[in-house]
Amino acid sequence: MVFDAVGMLPSSSKRRLLKENGTFVTVKGPPGKGDFVAGVANLRRALESRQLRIVIDRSYPLDRIVDAHGYVEKHHKRGNVTVTIG
């Protein structure tokens, strides 16, 4: 499963990243479409069953949030960028 949380993944990447029976879910899906709802349900099941591998590229403390945004805007990240609070 690939979950595009930003809605900017190119179509060519979708095909390359998914296995034959893989599922692609994006936040940009048209509202009310069954495939989007089903995809989110699949995402939930994958999270609950611990079958989903979450990739963290970099983590920044809150006082460096400007640096985190700058890194994301360069479009070179290979996973999630997190901001830690506290």
Query: pLDDT by residue for the chain (86 residues), tens digit each?
Result: 777 777 777 777 777 888 888 877 776 665 555 566 777 787 788 888 887 778 899 999 999 999 999 999 998 888 899 999 98
State the pTM of this model: 0.50
pLDDT of residue 35: 66
pLDDT at residue number 31? 53
* pLDDT of res. 61: 97
Single out the residue of 83, 22, 19 nearest to residue 56, CA to CA: 83
In Å, how far from its chain's centre is CA 39?
A: 13
CA-to-CA separations, 69 to 56, 64, 83, in angstroms, rounded: 15, 9, 10
Where b means 16+ CB within 10 Å and e means fewer, 5-16 reads eeeebeeeeeee
> What DSSP state is assigned to residue 7?
S
